[in-house]
């Protein structure tokens, strides 16, 4: 092995190949290596070895042997001569420019050979231009060799762009997009295609769209979107949110303003499956999607579905940010806290539902007893039925008071639950608990109305009974005032004096006792039902104020899925009609053009003009005159 210690470092030599070598040329590269401080003073030596550069140069030679020519190399001359050379000579004197490109880019870890197939203009780019671009990127931005390698592998056209174009892009990012100089390297590393995007036709219009239409104030945080097309990427996603999802224009702009990275997500592979799961499986409101559009950034299979199922198993409905953003450990802790606080609540709810069922059963029994009382004409039977109805009313009154107290306790429990993390006002847990309590109040209000209707019915029928008995005994129809007086005073024998005088007291005493028992029973039941009605009146105002809201929530939950399906169907029909309308409009325009062409061809205005010119030529007899010039007048004499 020969050593040329006097030559400079990073110099390449071509040595004659041995008989055992796989390559026609052996490349010797002198380079500095990491040595200890004691060996730094030693001379550097070049060792004949097959390096990465030699392999790439061999590929260049293979390309040359297959007919591939460098712009400055004749087809008769190989890129690397396979003939043995005299004593080592620097490659810079004998090598081609393409080899120099390979060697220069290899010093930055960039493999030129695969880039030639993806971006052929690199062949004709001069080495000086490549050096200027690499020098500018490595010193101005600055980019380290690994970052340069990544940039060139993603966008090889950056090496063929004029340097002023790259400078204009950097100037745009610094001055108009307000990217800080210390953040420029991170911006380019995240989105290398910014350097190869035209400022006038792509970067500036996209920035104006994001600022003006979407309303993004700080564009420096979203520079990765500037190289995207507004027509091909932004508008289809906005249309999907408005038409397919059913969000208003203002809410759509709010969604993309809160999470601009949605512009980078695929509609079919990301937005559509996640939205279907959100509506169908999770049954959530679209308002949650507007408030937390980052939902689309989480994995459907690895994050959204498992955590949703875990919440279902625990019977807890967490807000979307809490369900998706928390770590696994914190999510389990939150679910345990919510379960511990929700178990007593739902146990109380089930108990109150049982009490309401008992109350409904008592109302049914009271109604049955009332219908049974219409067929009784014995004072003893009426008295027994009265005692039974009094017992039912008394139990109903106790149940109603108990339910009222327990509902007030649930209100206090909800207020205390709002202090727990993740269960504050407006959270999903708080809305669920409030909705459940309001639903129980509404059921209690319905029970109140049913007892009140029964009381009014019993009072009305009792008035009819008194009126009928009075007419039977006296033969006269009492007016409303007399009936009210008889019912309120309770003196049943007053209107029976005439019957007693005519028929004797013994014959009408049974009727008197029956009427008296009925009167006492109705008065007692009416008094108890009024007391029961008063228990519910305390909650009537609250139930009425919350009734519309509850009805709206229930309707939205029950009809959300149908609305989405119907909306999708209508949109598909609308698109079909739109396509048909455009098609028939095109047919109409084509038909009009055909008619115009037929008219023009039938009239042939150019032939009439040409014929007039020909006639002038024939009369003149001068064949040399042009058709557009009229013949001279004939000479006189």
CA neighbours closer than 13 Å in the CB half-sphere of residue 337: 15
In angstroms, the CA 62 to CA 78 distance is: 9
The neighbour count for residue 39, using CB atoms within 10 Å, is 9
For domain 328-563, say whether CATH 1.10.357.10 is its number. no
Place of tokens 């762009």: 161
The neighbour count for residue 445, using CB atoms within 10 Å, is 17
CB 386 within 8 A of CB 517: yes
In angstroms, the CA 459 to CA 271 distance is: 63
Q: What is the pLDDT of residue 128?
A: 92
Residue 77 — φ and ψ, nearest 5°?
-110, 130
Q: What is the pLDDT of residue 78?
A: 37
Q: What is the pLDDT of residue 235?
A: 96
202 Cβ contact partners less than 8 Å away, ≥ 6 residues apart:
226, 227, 229
Beta bridge pairs of residue 28 = 13, 48
Q: What is the pLDDT of residue 630?
A: 47
- Integer distance in angstroms from the first to the last C-alpha of the chain? 118
Q: Which residues of the chain have pLDDT under 50?
A: 1-51, 68-83, 85-86, 88-94, 492-493, 507, 541, 611-630, 635-637
DSSP one-letter code for 629: S
Place of tokens 């020519």: 69
Closest C-alpha to 465, from 517, 428, 506 = 517
In angstroms, the CA 64 to CA 13 distance is: 20
Q: What is the pTM of this model?
A: 0.48
Closest C-alpha to 308, from 128, 398, 428, 214 = 428
Place of tokens 């690199």: 122
Residue 12 — φ and ψ, nearest 5°?
-105, 145
Q: What is the pLDDT of residue 212?
A: 93
Q: How far is CA 297 from CA 46, 229, 249, in A?
A: 54, 21, 22
Each domain of the chain, given as residue ranges in start order, spans 1-107, 328-563
In angstroms, the CA 96 to CA 90 distance is: 12
Place of tokens 């390449």: 12
Q: How far is CA 321 from CA 229, 262, 304, 366, 427, in A?
A: 31, 17, 11, 52, 11
The neighbour count for residue 105, using CB atoms within 10 Å, is 24
Beta bridge pairs of residue 48 = 28
Q: What is the pLDDT of residue 205?
A: 96
In angstroms, the CA 633 to CA 299 distance is: 95
What is the H or E stretch that residue 14 is in? Answer: strand 12-16
Please tell me the chain's helix, strand, coil percentages from 3-state DSSP, rounded to the nearest 5.
75, 0, 25
- Angle at which helix 328-373 crosses helix 379-417, to 10 degrees, equals 160
In angstroms, the CA 536 to CA 448 distance is: 6
Closest C-alpha to 543, from 440, 428, 433 = 440
Q: How far is CA 571 from CA 272, 366, 566, 575, in A?
A: 15, 55, 9, 6
Q: What is the pLDDT of residue 261?
A: 94
Dmax (CA) of the chain: 162
On the question of a cis peptide bond just before residue 142, with omega within 30 degrees of 0, the verdict is yes
In angstroms, the CA 317 to CA 314 distance is: 9
């Amino acid at each position: 092995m020969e050593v040329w210690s006097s030559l400079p470092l990073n110099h390449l030599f071509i040595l004659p190949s041995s008989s055992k070598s796989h390559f026609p040329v052996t490349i010797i590269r002198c380079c500095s290596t990491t040595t200890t401080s004691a060996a730094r003073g030693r001379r550097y030596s070049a060792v004949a070895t097959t390096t990465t550069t030699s392999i790439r140069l061999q590929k260049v030679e293979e390309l040359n042997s297959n007919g591939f020519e460098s712009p400055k190399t004749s087809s008769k001359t190989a890129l690397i001569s396979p003939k043995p050379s005299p004593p080592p000579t620097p490659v810079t004197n004998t090598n081609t420019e393409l080899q120099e490109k390979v060697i220069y880019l290899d010093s930055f870890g960039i493999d030129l050979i695969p880039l030639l197939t993806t971006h052929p203009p690199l062949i004709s780019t001069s080495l000086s231009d490549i050096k200027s671009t690499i020098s500018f990127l490595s010193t101005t931005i600055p980019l380290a060799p690994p970052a340069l390698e990544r940039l060139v592998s993603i966008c090889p056209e950056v090496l063929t762009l004029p340097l002023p174009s790259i400078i204009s892009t950097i100037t745009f990012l610094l001055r108009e997009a307000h990217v800080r100089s210390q953040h420029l390297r991170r911006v380019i590393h995240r989105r290398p295609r910014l350097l190869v995007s035209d400022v006038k036709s792509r970067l500036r219009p996209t920035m104006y769209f994001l600022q003006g239409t979407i309303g993004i104030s700080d564009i420096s945080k979203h520079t990765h979107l500037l190289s995207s097309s507004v027509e091909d990427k932004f508008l289809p996603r906005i249309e999907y949110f408005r038409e397919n999802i059913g969000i208003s224009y203002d809410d759509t702009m709010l969604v993309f303003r809160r999470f601009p990275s949605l512009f980078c997500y695929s509609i079919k592979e990301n937005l559509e499956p996640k939205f279907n799961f959100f509506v169908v499986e999770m049954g959530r409101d679209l308002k949650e999607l507007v408030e937390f559009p980052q939902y689309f950034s989480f994995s459907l299979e690895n994050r959204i579905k498992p955590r949703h199922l875990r919440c279902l198993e625990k019977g807890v409905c967490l807000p979307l940010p809490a369900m998706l953003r928390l770590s696994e450990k914190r999510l389990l802790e939150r679910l345990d806290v919510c379960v511990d606080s929700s178990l007593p609540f739902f146990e109380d709810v089930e108990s109150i539902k049982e009490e309401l069922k008992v109350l409904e059963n008592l109302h049914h029994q009271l109604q049955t007893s009332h219908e049974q009382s219409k067929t009784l004409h014995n004072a003893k039977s009426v008295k027994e039925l009265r005692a039974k109805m009094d017992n039912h009313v008394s139990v109903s009154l106790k149940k109603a008071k108990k339910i009222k107290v327990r509902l007030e306790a649930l209100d206090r429990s909800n207020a205390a639950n709002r202090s727990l993390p993740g269960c504050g006002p407006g959270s999903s847990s708080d809305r669920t608990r409030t909705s459940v309590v309001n639903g129980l109040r509404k059921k209690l209000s319905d029970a109140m109305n049913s007892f009140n209707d029964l009381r009014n019915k019993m009072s009305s029928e009792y008035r009819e009974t008194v009126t009928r008995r009075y007419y039977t005994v006296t033969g006269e129809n009492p007016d409303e005032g007399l009936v009210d007086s008889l019912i309120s005073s309770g003196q049943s024998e007053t209107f029976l004096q005439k019957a007693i005088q005519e028929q004797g007291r013994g014959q009408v005493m049974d009727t008197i006792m029956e009427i008296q028992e009925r009167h006492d029973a109705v008065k007692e039941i009416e008094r108890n039902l009024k007391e029961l009605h008063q228990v519910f009146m305390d909650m009537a105002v609250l139930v009425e104020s919350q009734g519309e809201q509850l009805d709206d929530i229930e309707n939205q939950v029950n009809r959300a899925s149908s609305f989405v399906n119907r909306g999708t169907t209508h949109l598909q029909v609308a698109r079909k009609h739109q396509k048909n309308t455009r098609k028939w409009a095109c047919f109409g325009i084509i038909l009009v053009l055909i008619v115009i062409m037929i008219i023009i061809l039938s009239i042939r205005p150019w032939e009439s003009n040409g014929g007039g010119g020909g006639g002038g030529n024939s009369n003149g007899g001068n064949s040399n005159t042009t058709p557009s010039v009229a013949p001279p007048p004939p000479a006189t004499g």
